[in-house]
């Protein structure tokens, strides 16, 4: 009985944690937004204790930070952004290499199908951003390495701390799908080196786009400088 009650508490905590995390991931809460325990409890229909524990866990994971007495969704500074993209490029490139080696024919067909389907949502940055995440997650799974999948999940969790998607940048959506196509082609050919290089180039282009967007937004918000 006791352990069943304990399991129930652990499950509620996990629910509150994943609910808050996906709300950040989906942009319901954006970097800089304040998270209030009572509001979260009400929004998600859970009691305050699991919410409080979930918030503590997210703070430990640097997803939230203290601002006086309140907790806000963390933002990434320029250095963190560069550090994150460096790790992401290496891990994603490794995933692509392993996917070229280990993906099943079914997994490759799913990847190819995703790129085809995603052409239908060009012009919708939010939908493309979700599709992009699905595409990359599919490559992670096709690597057939659970430790790599775990590490990439951590990287993608921190990616949620970027306020906006680079897919909204002019022309980036079409180019992104071309790059995805190159990755799928290399995996289909079982060309490990080419898959790795294509994915590394893709992440590098995404990072470059982000830096340009950041620079553009900074100059817009301080017209005197």
Give me the residues that bind Zn ion (CB under 5 A), please: 132
Strands 34-35 and 70-73: antiparallel
26 is written with which tokens? 């989906």
Gap between the Cα atoms of 79 and 185, Å rounded:
33
Gap between the Cα atoms of 183 and 185, Å rounded:
5
Gap between the Cα atoms of 99 and 32, Å rounded:
37
Taking the complex as a whole, the smallest distance from the CB of residue 183 to Zn ion amounts, in Å, to 8
Per the listing, tokens 């490029």 go with 89
* Helix and strand element counts for the chain (H, E): 9, 3
- Using Cβ positions, the residue closest to Zn ion within the complex turns out to be 132
Q: Which is nearer to Zn ion, 132 or 209 (CB)?
A: 132
Q: Which is nearer to Zn ion, 29 or 85 (CB)?
A: 85
Q: Which is nearer to Zn ion, 132 or 165 (CB)?
A: 132
Gap between the Cα atoms of 164 and 158, Å rounded:
13
Taking the complex as a whole, the smallest distance from the CB of residue 132 to Zn ion amounts, in Å, to 5
Q: Which is nearer to Zn ion, 13 or 132 (CB)?
A: 132
Gap between the Cα atoms of 208 and 194, Å rounded:
21
Q: Which is nearer to Zn ion, 132 or 138 (CB)?
A: 132
């Amino acid at each position: 009985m006791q352990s069943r009650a304990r399991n129930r508490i652990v499950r509620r905590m996990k629910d509150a944690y994943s609910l808050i995390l996906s709300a950040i991931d989906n942009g319901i809460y954006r970097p800089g937004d304040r998270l209030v325990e009572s509001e979260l409890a009400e929004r998600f229909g859970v009691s305050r204790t699991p919410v409080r524990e979930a918030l503590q866990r997210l703070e430990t994971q640097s997803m939230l930070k203290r601002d006086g007495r309140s907790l806000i969704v963390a933002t990434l500074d320029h250095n963190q952004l560069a550090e994150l993209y460096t790790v992401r490029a290496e891990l994603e490139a490794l995933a692509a290499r392993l996917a070229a080696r280990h993906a099943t024919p079914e997994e490759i067909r799913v990847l190819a199908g995703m790129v085809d389907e995603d052409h239908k949502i060009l012009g919708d940055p939010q939908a493309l951003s979700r599709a992009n995440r699905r595409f990359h997650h599919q490559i992670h799974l096709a690597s057939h390495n659970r430790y790599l999948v775990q590490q990439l999940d951590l990287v993608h969790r921190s990616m949620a701390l970027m306020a906006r998607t680079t897919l909204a940048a002019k022309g980036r959506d079409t180019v992104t799908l071309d790059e995805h196509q190159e990755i799928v082609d290399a995996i289909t050919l079982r060309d490990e080196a080419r898959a790795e290089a294509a994915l590394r180039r893709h992440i590098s282009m995404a990072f470059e786009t982000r830096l340009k967007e950041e620079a553009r937004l900074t100059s817009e918000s301080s017209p005197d400088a």
